[in-house]
Amino acid sequence: MSKFEKKIIIRTIRYEDIDEIVELGKLCFPNMDPWKRQQLISHLEIFPEGQFCVELDGEIIGSCSSLIINFDEYDDQHTWDEITDEGYITNHDSEGYNLYGIEVAVHPDYRRMKIGRRLYEARKELAREMNLKSIIIGGRIPNYRRYSEEMSPRQYVEEVMNHNVFDPVLTFQVMNGFTLKRVNRNYLEDDAASMKYATLMEWNNVDYRPTTKRHFKTAFPVRICAIQYMMKKIDSFDEFAQQCEYYADVGASYQSDFVVFPEIFTTQLLSFIEEKSPSRAIRRLTDFTEDYINLFTDLAIKYNVNIIGGSHFVEEEGGIYNIAYLFRRDGTIEKQYKIHITPNERRFWGIQGGDSVEVFDTDCGKIAIQICYDIEFPELGRIATEKGANIIFTPFCTDDRQGYLRVRYCSQARAVENQVYTMITGTVGNLTHVENMDIQYAQSGIFTPSDFAFPRDGIVGECHPNIETVVVGDVDLELLRRSRKSGNVTQWKDRRHDLYRVEQHLKNETT
């Protein structure tokens, strides 16, 4: 009997589905702008659980997209562009109350097969699983154009809901348990059939359970301890480990959430490795990678603190990479490759660059790590913030004041233009026995956006330059969230996506 069977599957969308979904959109909405590939990529990067498709015998015949929001934070007469950040859903709020549906597409050849109902049921199940209060959708009313001369949008909607007029979208939504909230004008700019009007509809999750984690926060403080680390001669890895544990203990004694070490501070280990060639010395340094990872994993757990272990040179498949590791206090580990390699790193050590901007979940929200030179490229800060980062940590290593100031000024610029917190921490002292690591210059600091809610100079705290010390400071993620919504200036919200956008290309793929 198997030759007569047809296999229909409802599943989440994958990256390899993107081209097919773009073509599906062109078929379903021939007179409207289809999805852009980068928009769908953004959906999968930000909220993959909320993107569904229906597959019949290997062909995608339906799809839908959604995000989570706190609906109370949006204007009653919002537009589709406002509620979706122009289709990129970078405003997705994982702590929100409401699932917002932004599109449902069903292949014209497969309508009347309840494909749309299956997608709606997938959304409802997701809302139940994630304990969301409701699903909200902005629905087109594509038959309204036929009645526009005899009815107002409100009258048309009432006639449809009273079953006197049929509308393929609104009628379907009512049959699926959605109730009318209001009618919005100028909702979707290219929806000529609906004359730009849309119904705002809501389905309430009767299984919703209010939880304390969603209550309004008056503050969400995060404490950061930046280690301004002294590079001096040591005689063994155990001596290095002793210094690192001392600083982990210092950070924990101040009840820090993050303890952050500088870039390539593990080159201190070269002071007891007798190798004059810089390139060969770096390869010998990579032999300590497992010891380094074991050390900081143990310290993060022992002192109950998230540690950003500066960065370390690591050999992978014959290449040497500059990698920053996040050691969470629950024992899990993440890593960020340095993307932009300085001429000095390339010439002396043959370092290779990474190819992805990562954002990491922690118990203190989402963070990013951008190693030294990377903070000097504004595109990376924008991509990280679009992925949800609230803090960008920058371990650095510079040999003179000019190099240090490049890192500092750019870090402060990233804080202002993206409305995020940033932090830099560097090495000081000298390694007189190590080629290409002989002098250091640093003044570590923690920075904020520039507005009345933050410190006057946008500086939470900073070290004195060129001494071994730490700086500890608190940043407030709730204050940051409010500032993005209603600050004296709102750079993040006021970006002109109609003129420009920064996009990240996937590895081995053009977009």
- pLDDT exceeds cutoff 90 at 436: no
Q: What is the mean pLDDT of residues 346-362?
A: 93
What is the C-alpha to C-alpha distance for residues 379 and 44, in angstroms, rounded to an integer?
A: 20
Q: Is 263 a catalytic residue?
A: yes
Q: Is 335 a catalytic residue?
A: no
Instruction: For the beta carbon of residue 85, count every other beta carbon within 10 angstroms.
Output: 19
Instruction: For the beta carbon of residue 167, count every other beta carbon within 10 angstroms.
Output: 24
Q: What is the mean pLDDT of residues 199-212?
A: 89
- pLDDT exceeds cutoff 70 at 48: yes
- Do 470 and 463 touch, CB atoms closer than 8 A? yes
Q: Which residues pair with 52 in a beta bridge?
A: 12, 64
Listed in sequence order, the residues at least 6 apart from 237 whose beta carbon sits closer than 8 Å to its beta carbon are 269, 288, 291
- pLDDT exceeds cutoff 50 at 203: yes
CA dihedral 136, 142, 144, 147 (to 10 degrees): -160
Q: Supply the pLDDT for residue 77.
A: 85
Q: What is the mean pLDDT of residues 234-258?
A: 96
Tell me the pLDDT of the chain averaged across its residues: 91
Grade residue 5 by pLDDT with cuts at 50, 70 and 90. low
Closest CA to 424 of 450, 452, 396: 396
Q: Which residues pair with 227 in a beta bridge?
A: 470
Q: What is the mean pLDDT of residues 272-289?
A: 87
Residue 462 main-chain phi, psi, to 5 deg: -150, 150
- Do 448 and 417 touch, CB atoms closer than 8 A? no
Q: At what angle do helices 289-302 and 237-253 cross, to 10 degrees?
A: 30
- Between the alpha carbon of residue 82 and those of residues 69, 71, 269, 312, 492, the distances in Å are 12, 12, 52, 42, 13
Q: Going from the N-terminus, what domains does the chain have, and what CATH number goes with each?
A: 7-213 (3.40.630.30), 225-486 (3.60.110.10)
- Do 293 and 321 touch, CB atoms closer than 8 A? no
- pLDDT exceeds cutoff 70 at 351: yes
Q: Work out the percent of the chain whose per-residue pLDDT is above 90.
A: 76
Q: What is the mean pLDDT of residues 242-262?
A: 97
- pLDDT exceeds cutoff 60 at 212: no
Listed in sequence order, the residues at least 6 apart from 57 whose beta carbon sits closer than 8 Å to its beta carbon are 6, 7
Grade residue 74 by pLDDT with cuts at 50, 70 and 90. confident
Helix (H, G, I), strand (E, B) or coil at 111: coil
- pLDDT exceeds cutoff 50 at 1: no
- Do 386 and 379 touch, CB atoms closer than 8 A? no
Listed in sequence order, the residues at least 6 apart from 405 whose beta carbon sits closer than 8 Å to its beta carbon are none
Grade residue 226 by pLDDT with cuts at 50, 70 and 90. very high
Inter-residue long-range contacts of 456-462, CB under 8 Å, 24+ positions, other chains counted = 458/412, 458/415, 458/416, 460/224, 460/421
Q: Supply the pLDDT for residue 348.
A: 86
Listed in sequence order, the residues at least 6 apart from 12 whose beta carbon sits closer than 8 Å to its beta carbon are 48, 49, 51, 52, 53
Q: Work out the percent of the chain whose per-residue pLDDT is above 70.
A: 96
Q: Which of 263, 345, 358, 386 is catalytic?
A: 263
Q: Supply the pLDDT for residue 75.
A: 78
The predicted-structure confidence for 163-181, as pLDDT tens digits, reads as follows 999 999 999 999 999 999 9
Return the CA Rg of the chain: 27
What is the C-alpha to C-alpha distance for residues 333 and 329, in angstroms, rounded to an integer?
A: 9
- Do 422 and 411 touch, CB atoms closer than 8 A? yes
Grade residue 12 by pLDDT with cuts at 50, 70 and 90. very high
Q: Is 372 a catalytic residue?
A: yes
Higher-confidence position of 503 and 28: 28
Q: What is the mean pLDDT of residues 199-227?
A: 83
Grade residue 219 by pLDDT with cuts at 50, 70 and 90. confident
**The two three-digit tokens of residue 135, written as one number:** 């699903």
Instruction: For the chain, report the end-to-end CA distance as a whole number of angstroms.
Output: 43
Helix (H, G, I), strand (E, B) or coil at 301: helix
Q: What is the mean pLDDT of residues 188-204?
A: 92
Q: Which of 53, 244, 364, 372 is catalytic?
A: 372
Instruction: For the beta carbon of residue 165, count every other beta carbon within 10 angstroms.
Output: 20
- pLDDT exceeds cutoff 50 at 473: yes
- Do 301 and 331 touch, CB atoms closer than 8 A? yes
- pLDDT exceeds cutoff 60 at 216: no
Residue 218 exposure: Cα atoms within 13 Å on the Cβ side? 0
Q: Which of 133, 338, 364, 397 is catalytic?
A: 338
Q: Supply the pLDDT for residue 506.
A: 63
Q: DSSP assignment of 34-54, as one string? A: PPPHHHHHHHHHH-GGG-EEE
Q: What is the mean pLDDT of residues 128-150?
A: 93
Three-state SS annotation for 470-511? EEEEEEEHHHHHHHHHHCCCCCCCCCCCCCCCCCCCCCCCCC
Strand order in the sheet with 134-140: 8-12, 52-56, 59-69, 98-106, 134-140, 198-204, 179-184
- pLDDT exceeds cutoff 80 at 341: yes
